[in-house]
Amino acid sequence: MDDIIFLTNHPGRVSLSSLGIGDPAFAYADIKNILQELSAGNYVILGGDVYRCQNGQPEITGDSWYYEHNHLLLAKNDVSNSIAAALSYIENYHKLNGAEYLYSLIVKKTHL
């Protein structure tokens, strides 16, 4: 699974091209499945950005998170930790701010 192709071709993607951004974003409703697929493909989630969907158009919020990739951890543990960190941030953001937000992901393939 190629990270760029997987994310840009995912059916739940929302284009950020109107903002000059080539990567897609995803609604909260899709993010858990995407994270599960990335975990199964051994991808570390290095972080991501949050966008507000206003009248069907994404807007930059300036909110983001990052995960400090730990090269000393076993790759499988690093993947699990990064997925947990991303999910925790997204779930908390959703709880505090509601469903009108989109999330983009920065991913890196690991080799087990």
For the chain, domain boundaries = 4-109
Q: Does domain 4-109 have CATH number 3.30.190.30?
A: yes
H or E element in which residue 65 lies: strand 57-66
Report pLDDT digits (tens) over 44-75.
Answer: 999 999 999 988 899 999 999 999 877 666 77
How far apart, in Å, are the Cα atoms of 4 and each of 33, 74, 94? 17, 24, 25
**What's the rounded Cα separation, in Å, for the pair 46 and 53?**
23
Give me the percent of the chain exceeding a pLDDT of 70.
90
**What's the rounded Cα separation, in Å, for the pair 90 and 101?**
10
3-state secondary structure of 33: helix
Residues in the chain predicted with pLDDT less than 50, given as ranges, are 1-2
Alpha carbon 28 to its chain's center: 10
